[in-house]
Amino acid sequence: MDAAASDLFAAEEIERARSYHRPLYRALGLDLLLELGVLAAIAFGPPGDWLAGATGGSWWARTIELVALVAGVGTLVRLPLSAWRGWLYERRWGFSTQTFRGWLSDKAKGLVIGVAVSSLALVLLLGSVRAWEGWWPAVAAPGAALFVLFLSVLAPLLFERLFNRFWPLPDRELAGELQELSRRAGVPVRTILVSDASRRTRKHNAYVSGLGPTRRLVLFDTLLEDAPREELRGVVAHELGHRRHRHVAAGTLLAMAGIAVAVLVLWGLLSWHGLLAAVGADGLAGPRVVPLVLLALSLLELGALPLGTWLSRRWERTADRFALELTRDGAALEQMHRRLALANLADLDPPRLLYALLFTHPTPPERIAAARMGS
């Protein structure tokens, strides 16, 4: 990394961020081991036979039931650690504003959505195997890509509203100022939305999501409450940079290509009779193969993580440069990065390996240094 945290932040700020993040890194590693361990045990061991034996009905009904059972078991095994990471630890550090009941409700919603999406995807996958046998990847690969596109377009309407309420930015003067900024950026925004993030957290954020008619720019209400206007312009300019450079669309295309490649990898796995025999699958299209598919997809996602985070950091730097060119206010952008880093307790000096594997954004010292150099 190009910028030293000690040159831009106080030693106490660096140490406080380190104290917050190090236990979370260990918990994340343990959670990953639990996730993969549960999937492997179900895919290759007796627990998979027990769960498969608890299902009944037609092949598609058994597939849905098995997805729900696998997801449910995995969630229950990981629930104590998830509760510590996502609720108790966040409350101890003063971030979470949720009750435990509210956190559990969100967890249940996420489980239901995950089961619904995974079930539909796997029913379509196994249906293609049953219908087209030897050449099913020619149908399943483009079908999976279209499925990802469908989710990307409709996610703001289908999923985001299940967890948050949204409303237009109430300050008309500020809204007009930010809309003028969007016109100067070449990506006019009709409506800037505010999310009720404060019902869950005190952290600050903003994001862009959706494609075509569902495109949106969303600001956390916590950000609006605390950020001065010039810093808020910097946040919005950064998000406009993502839109101007079509990062959401590019990310969707990459996800579509990635899932198509994953289908081809699954084709190789499902053609390996020794592996199918090990999991006791009744043919390529048998529902008992579901845990193996979920395990393979998790491992592929893990393998693609370094490339994904590298690309994300590259896009974030591009959006930062765009914001600097648009606002011509390096001082405000520097202060914005500092405020966000301290408000969210971002890791100011992460271990290099974890930075390469997990960090989707450059560190705050990197971003501040870039703002100074460009101003």
Q: What per-residue confidence (pLDDT) applies to 281?
A: 54
Q: What per-residue confidence (pLDDT) applies to 103?
A: 96
Q: What per-residue confidence (pLDDT) applies to 220?
A: 95
Q: pTM for the full model?
A: 0.90
Distances (CA, A) of 199 to 218, 221, 237, 279: 16, 10, 26, 44
Q: What per-residue confidence (pLDDT) applies to 209?
A: 78
Q: Say how many C-beta atoms besides its own lie within 10 A of residue 2's C-beta.
A: 10
Which one-letter amino acid corresponds to residue 268? G
List, in sequence order, the alpha helices (H) in the chain.
5-8, 11-44, 46-53, 59-83, 89-92, 100-132, 137-155, 161-163, 172-185, 221-226, 229-244, 247-270, 273-279, 290-327, 330-344, 352-358, 364-374
Q: What tokens were used for 63?
A: 């597939």
Contacts of residue 7, defined as CB under 8 A and 6 or more positions apart, other chains included, come to: 365
Beta bridge partners of 216: 209
- Quote the CA–CA distance of 196 and 188 in Å, as a whole number: 24
Distances (CA, A) of 154 to 120, 143, 190, 348: 15, 17, 19, 35
Q: In CATH, what class is 167-228? A: alpha beta
Note whether 39 and 74 are within 8 A (CB): yes
pLDDT in tens, the chain (375 residues): 456 778 889 999 999 999 999 999 999 999 999 999 999 999 999 999 899 999 999 999 999 999 999 999 999 999 999 999 999 999 999 999 999 999 999 999 999 999 999 999 999 999 998 888 888 999 999 999 999 999 888 877 778 888 999 999 998 899 899 989 999 999 888 778 999 999 999 999 988 877 776 677 889 999 999 889 999 999 999 999 999 999 989 999 999 999 999 999 988 887 776 666 666 656 566 788 899 999 999 999 999 999 999 999 999 999 999 999 999 999 999 999 999 999 999 999 999 999 999 999 999 999 999 998 866
Domain limits of the chain?
23-159+242-336, 167-228
- Quote the CA–CA distance of 270 and 293 in Å, as a whole number: 9
Q: What per-residue confidence (pLDDT) applies to 375?
A: 61
